[in-house]
Structure 1
Amino acid sequence: MSRMWNAFMLLEAADAEAKKINRQRMLLNRVRNRERLLQKIPEWQFRTHYRLNKEEFHSLCDELRRNTRLKGSKTTSLELKVLTALSFYAMGSYQKGIANEVHMDQRSVSQCIREVTKALNVLSNKWVQFPQTSTQRTKIKQGFYSKFNFPGVIGAIDCTHVAIVRPAANEPCFYNRKGFHSLNIQMVCDSDLRITNVNAKFGGASHDSHIWESSRLRNHMESLQRSGESVWLLGDSGYPQRSYLMTPILNAEPGSRGDKYTKVHIKARNCIERAFGVLKSRFRCLLGQRVLYYHPDYAAEIVIACVVLHNMLLDSRGIPTDQDAEVILSTDPIQPTVVENGLDVIAGRAVRDRLINSSF
């Protein structure tokens, strides 16, 4: 009886080992099939579907591998994780791209997107930088001056709304003037549409001027002013006029210097609108029609991940042309014009007047 039991146990162990080997082979074959699938996709189709070409994709994977904790597993390579996330960013749907082609379940897809998004946020300190040195600021000023003949500009600023599902907590903070829930994302870009600053902490109910007044960037611009630098951002009438933040002159007399200033201001500030258009066209998960079904904090991380990719593509391809972005109709609520009085406004208007008289 004992011998029979021992023989039975040996057979059970051998069967378990055989099953383990078969599972390992199946996993290995699945990984190999995914790699072959990647190689078979034509370049044009790859770029259309994932927004990056294959060279840019491999460069991204290398950087994530070197500089973040993102790793592959036995069942899902790092490359597949990145492709799955890129498909989501580009299309805004779990049912698109390689995740569907290799029959990955939704839970695995969601995990891949989360891991890659976290990793791209780690890279944001490198890829999304407001100019910190005089040399960096001079380069950006030269860009705005050469293109628009507007001196002293180190960025165009505005906010854009990214739709999210109704949050469980603090719901009124996210309900915007257009009647949907969103994040109101403040961004700054240079004349090449490179995004240099992102503030994704506020809900859609927050006014642009409130986000600005609460941002670290405002403190930084004030410190530059105190140090004697004549630099400024360009904002629309939803922002307060400050000595470091130039806004348009409403109802300026036609043909006057103020009118000329405002026309040039609008052209130069349009860089941020174009940047929003390119960003949302390339990464359609940010479009209002797509709605991010996540907690606001995670939705903000997805926005930042897309901004990192946007800047990477600028480094790879140069300034986007009109062909790089479809026309995106704005769904951003119209922000009321800021009406202010006080010493800050008086000082800001005085600086603006001097700028107009000397340059326009």
Structure 2
Amino acid sequence: MIDFGSLIGAELFKRAINKLLDFLAGLIGAENKDSPPEDLPQILSEENNNCVKSETLPETISENLTSKLKRLLKAHNIPLISIGELFNLKDFSYSKLDDPNKFVDCFDSQLLAKICDIFYIKLDWLQGKKTLFNSVHSPKRCYKAIGDLVSFICNEIYSPYKALETCGFELFFCLSSSQKFSTKELSSIRHLNETSETGFCIVVKITKRYGLQKSEFSTYQVFDHGMRWSYWRTRYTLKSVALLCLKWNKKINLVSIDDDSFSALSTGDVLPAEIMEENSGEIIHHRHFDFRDYVESYPHMNPEFDEMKSVESYYNERRYREYENLFKFWHDNPQLHQITG
């Protein structure tokens, strides 16, 4: 089961110290009080007996994990009643949701690791551990590493070793709403000072299935943030991804997100689903044009046709064309796990 030993020990030590400090405070100005409280050993013994048993875990620990698991399911529009089917908990009953200690006992360390793999979140965050970067998830890299983006998608879609069946993916290019945002104005960003632009954040949406009814939900992996349109290398990287999607016949959704949400999404301080799902419509605005227009080979369709030859050269020099048939290759060779590029 979950190791709460260190957390419990810290709480026990804190309580004992508080008792001792109360005693020492009483010595100030008290001439005849020269011994610690007689009940201190008994207090320590009782606290130890109460804390070491998993069924009587400190309420704050069990409630914290329960709260985060419920938040995780809500963010992904998964009904709480489906939790047993989703995580294959054979003995799970809905009544356990009302008792944090019983609820937590259903989740051992192996299952928690599996949950993190399914939803792309950090185990430290789920368990409530304090870290230097106490974020919910870790954005991956794509700049100068498009192969990592392609590898992630292929591994999620085609690998037979995943915990849940997957049935598709979508790509989102997210932009802070404080930036100019229209087909015409996006091109004007090319001439901005680099430091004045927040840049793009790439998000991959993976749709997954679970249970006998093949119920679906979507998870989101965030890739590079700060992919500035005003810097040619990052702009060419974004356009190279768009070229791949054009070859794969996959649309890229270009979206605008309010500044605070964009910052939280980029740094990993929020569950991506809380921003990207449709129930967050008040902070996300879909734009009705296709980002792939920026890599079209027809001048009347491409707002930045003037640099298309340079983009194609960049694309070919970095051998991104090899990824065009990668989906079929990956499907035919499911034993492969790691692709670099």
If the length of structure 1 is used for normalisation, what is the TM-score? Answer: 0.34
If the length of structure 2 is used for normalisation, what is the TM-score? Answer: 0.35
More helix by share: 1
